């Protein structure tokens, strides 16, 4: 399946997700996990393989044991930095998802500079993510009014 760059941008504007979480592992060390993910029903799994082939990275896997959905996901921040971020810098998202992308890019660049390896860096990121989530919640809260 040959995918056009603009088709990918439009599809990601509809279906893509840029997110970041910070998890604490057993050794009480913090791990920053950026994630670019696209979910599709199994009937469209070929789209996910098409994206994997286009970006030459990422994996396609079932979205949970009882799910009929599959995900295409990239979590490696070096690959996100070298393949995903330059793509969306050239082929700009048209929806407000662009704001998520810009915040996501900030975190990936932060990691590329190894700033996430210090506790100060983690604290800085936690504040950044809190603000990001809060700005998203404001939209959701407004939806419930």
Instruction: Give the binding site for a copy of itself (CB under 8 A).
Output: 1, 3-15, 40-41, 43-44, 47, 50, 68, 94-96, 139, 142-143
Measured from the CB atom, is 67 or 118 closer to a copy of itself? 67
What is the closest distance, in whole angstroms, from the C-beta atom of residue 84 to a copy of itself in the complex? 16
Give the nearer residue to a copy of itself in terms of CB position, either 32 or 51.
51
- Could you tell me the sign of the dihedral formed by the alpha carbons of 106, 112, 118, 119, in that order? positive
What whole-number distance in Å separates Cα of residue 68 and Cα of residue 122? 36
CB of 118 to a copy of itself, least distance (A): 35
Cα–Cα distance, 99 to 19 (Å, whole number): 12
21 three-class SS: strand
- Give whichever of 34 and 50 is closer to a copy of itself, judged by the CB atom: 50
Helix (H, G, I), strand (E, B) or coil at 84: helix
């Amino acid at each position: 399946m040959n995918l056009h760059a603009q088709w990918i941008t439009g599809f990601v504007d509809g279906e893509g997700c840029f997110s970041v979480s910070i998890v604490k592992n057993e050794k009480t060390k913090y791990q920053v996990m950026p994630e670019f993910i696209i979910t599709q029903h199994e009937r469209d799994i070929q789209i996910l393989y098409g994206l994997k082939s286009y970006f030459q990275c990422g994996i396609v896997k079932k979205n949970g044991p009882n799910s009929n959905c599959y995900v295409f996901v990239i979590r490696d921040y070096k690959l996100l930095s070298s393949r995903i971020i330059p793509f969306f810098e050239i082929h700009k998202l048209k929806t407000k998802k662009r704001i998520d992308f810009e915040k996501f890019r900030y975190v990936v660049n932060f990691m590329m500079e190894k700033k996430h390896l210090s506790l100060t860096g983690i604290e800085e990121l936690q504040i950044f993510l809190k603000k990001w989530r809060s700005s998203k919640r404001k939209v959701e809260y407004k939806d419930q009014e």
